[in-house]
Chain A
C-alpha cells in the first residue's frame, strides 16, 4: 500500500534513520556532558562518544580520525575551508579556482574572498556538467592556492573527475578542496585514493541529523591548516571552537557507519529504481536528461519536459509526491536554476525541469506511481500549453518576438 506523501527529494535532505535516532537519544538526557569537561565522568562519557563517532566518520572516507573537524554542517565547512585556506596561505598567493555549478555556499564564499582582495576563477562546465581538465590546468597560476570543486552536483547529480583533478592539483602544488555533500555516504569516497586535501560533508544528507557536519583536513602529505573562522575555546584542534554537539555527532557517526556497511546493497537497489524512473520518463515525448548519463550519482535524475513549466508541473502531484524543480517562478528575479543554465540549457528547458532524488526508503511501488503521475500531468499541461500547440503546428518559437517582463 502506498503512503502519501512520497518523498523523492533526498538531495535536499534525508529523514533520520531510526537507528541513528536510537543512538542519539541517551546523549540528550543521561549522557549530556560537555566533551570538553576533562575532570568528571560526564565529560569523559561525552568525549568517548565523540571519539567513537569521529572514528566512524573517518572510516567512511578513509581518513584518520584526527583529520575530522566537526562543524554545524557543510555550509560552515565550505566557509571554513575556503576562507581558512585564503587566510592561512596568504603569503603563498590569493588565487582560487572553482566552477560555476558549485553550491551557493561555495560561490558566495568565493564572492566574499574577492571582496577581501582575493582572485577567483570560475571555470565553466561542459554541457554534461563536468569540467574540462585542460581548462582547469591552464587556469593555475603561481599565485593559485586552492582548487575548490564539488564531488557531485546537487541538482543534476553529476560526479566530477575527482582523481584527475587532484592529480593536477598535486602536480602544481595547489591544495584541493571538495564539497562532497552529495557524494559521501552514497558512493565510495576515499580521501587518499581521491587525493583530496580538504572536504566538507554533512549528516543530514545521509540519514543523520541536521545541524552537524564535518570538514576533513589532511594532516600528512601535505599537512594542511585552515585559519579558524569561529574563535573561542580552541576546540577541534583550534580550527573550530564551540561546544561539541554531542548527540548530533553521535548520530552522524552512526549514520556514517550504516552508509559504509550498507552502501553496496543500497546503491544497487536504488540505482535500479532510478534507472526505471529515468528510462520511463525519457519515453515521454520532448523530455531531456540534464547532466552526464554515466558520471552520475546512483539516486538522482534531472529531466526537463519541454513546453511545460516546472512549478506548474509539480502542482499536479505535489500533494502526493515531493520533488524539486529548476524553475523559479516564486523568486523575484524569475531566474531559473543557474546550474542548468551553466550547462547551456535555454531558460525554457531550465524552467521545465524536475529533480528526482531517491533514497533509502524509496520503493518500486512509489516509483511506478511517480512515473504514472508525472507522465499524466505532463500530458495534461501540454494540452493547455500554447507552446506545445505551436510546437505541434511547426511554429518556430525563436521567430516570435516575446514580450520579456
Chain B
C-alpha cells in the first residue's frame, strides 16, 4: 500500500510536534489510544482565555505514518479555531484531506477523539461542562 503524498509530507515534516505545559489552566490535553493497539496520540491545545480561540496546538504520536499525519493535520486545523469550532472537526474530513485508505480510517478517528479529549480537558479545568461523545477517552 502506497501512502498519499500528503501523508508522506506530514510524516517527513510534521507540524507542531511538541509539548505544552499541562499545568497551565488554559492548556487542554487529550491522550487517546493504547500502546497495545499500536497507536497513542497526545494532542494539546492552548486557549486564549479572553477570546476562547485556540492559539497553539501541539502533538506527539506513537503510531504509523497515517496516525502521525492525522495528528499533525489536526494541530494545523485547530489553530485559530474556537473550542466550539474545534469540536466540529470530523474524522472523515481528515480522511478526505489525507486520502486515507479504509484500513487507516481508525487513525483519523483517533485524531478526532484526541481533539475532543483535549477540548474536554480544557473545559473541565475551566469549570465548563464536558461534552459527551461515543468513544471512551482517558487522559
Chain B residues with CB under 8 Å of A384's CB are 14, 17, 59-61, 68
Is A342 among interface residues, defined by CB-CB distance under 8 A? no
Number of interface residues of B (CB under 8 A): 39
Query: B40 near A386 (CB under 8 angstroms)?
Result: yes
Residue of A nearest to B63 (CB): A309
Known contacts A312-B68, A332-B103; is-contact A346 B36 (Cβ 8 Å): yes
Is there contact, CB below 8 Å, between B62 and A404? no
B64: CB under 8 A from chain A? yes
Q: Nearest-CB distance from A256 to chain B (Å)?
A: 35
- The distance from the CB of B103 to the nearest CB of chain A, in whole angstroms, is 5
- B116 shortest CB reach to chain A, Å: 12
Task: Answer yes or no: A160 CB below 8 A from chain B CBs.
Answer: no
Closest to B42 in A: A386
Q: Is B32 an interface residue (CB 8 A)?
A: yes
State whether B65 touches A385 (Cβ < 8 A): no
Residues in B neighbouring A404, C-beta threshold 8 A: 34, 36-37
Residue of A nearest to B1 (CB): A330
For B43-63 the 0/1 string (1 means CB < 8 A from A) is 000000000000000011111
- CB of A319 to closest CB in B, whole Å: 9
Of the candidate stretches A85-93, A199-207, A264-272, A395-403, the one touching chain B is A395-403
**A248 within 8 Å of B by Cβ?**
no
Chain A residues in 8 Å Cβ range of B103? 329-332
Interface residues on A, range: 20 to 34
What string of 1s and 0s marks CB contacts (under 8 Å) between A281-310 and chain B?
A: 000000000000000000000000001111
Rounded to whole angstroms, the CA-CA distance of A147 and B110 in the bound complex is 45
In the complex, which residues of chain B have a beta carbon less than 8 angstroms from the beta carbon of A386?
A: 31, 40-42, 60-62
Shortest A110–chain B CB gap in Å is 27
Give A403 to B35 CA distance when docked, in angstroms. Answer: 10
Fill in one digit per residue for B84-121: 1 if any A CB lies within 8 Å of its CB, else 0. 00000000000000000001101001100100000000
Chain B residue nearest to A405 in the complex (CB): B37
Residues of A within 8 A of B34 (CB): 402-405
> For the complex, is B38 an interface residue (Cβ under 8 Å from A)?
yes
The chain B residue sitting closest to A384, CB to CB, is: B17
In the complex, whether A387 has a CB less than 8 A from a CB of chain B is yes
Are B40 and A387 neighbours in the complex by a CB distance under 8 Å?
A: yes
Determine the distance from Cα of A159 to Cα of B29 in the docked complex, in whole angstroms.
Answer: 47
Q: Does B9 contact A (CB under 8 A)?
A: no
Tell yes or no: B73 within 8 A of A by CB.
Answer: no
User: Roughly how many angstroms separate A405 CA and B8 CA in the complex, as a whole number?
Assistant: 25
Docked-complex contact B35 and A351, CB < 8 angstroms: yes
Q: With A and B bound together, what is the CA distance between A338 and B35 in angstroms?
A: 16
Residues of B within 8 A of A315 (CB): 3, 8, 11, 64-65
B64–A387 contact, CB under 8 A?
A: no
Contacting residue for A385 out of B11, B36, B62, CB 8 A? B62
A348 contacts the other chain (Cβ, under 8 Å)? yes
Taking a contact as CB atoms closer than 8 A, the residue among A332, A336, A389 that contacts B38 in the complex is: A336
Question: B13-31 interface mask toward A, CB cutoff 8 Å, 1 = contact, 0 = none?
Answer: 0100101000000000001
In the assembled complex, the CB of A353 is this many whole angstroms from the nearest CB of chain B, namely 11
Rounded to whole angstroms, the CA-CA distance of A102 and B119 in the bound complex is 47
Docked CA distance A346–B38 (Å): 11
Any A CB within 8 A of the CB of B128: no
Residues on B with C-beta less than 8 A from A316 are: 11
Q: List the A residue with the shortest CB-CB distance to B41.
A: A386
A47: Cβ under 8 A from any B Cβ: no
A348 to B11, CA, bound (A): 21
- Do A403 and B33 have beta carbons less than 8 Å apart? yes
Contact with B along A311-355 (1 / 0, CB 8 A): 110011000000000011111101010000000001110010000
Give the docked Cα–Cα distance between A315 and B67 (Å): 12
A334 and B40 in contact, given A312-B63, A383-B17, A386-B62 (Cβ under 8 angstroms): no
**In chain A, what residue has the closest Cβ to B71?**
A384
Q: How far is the CB of B86 from chain A (nearest CB, A)?
A: 19
- Chain A residue contacts of B66, Cβ below 8 A: 329
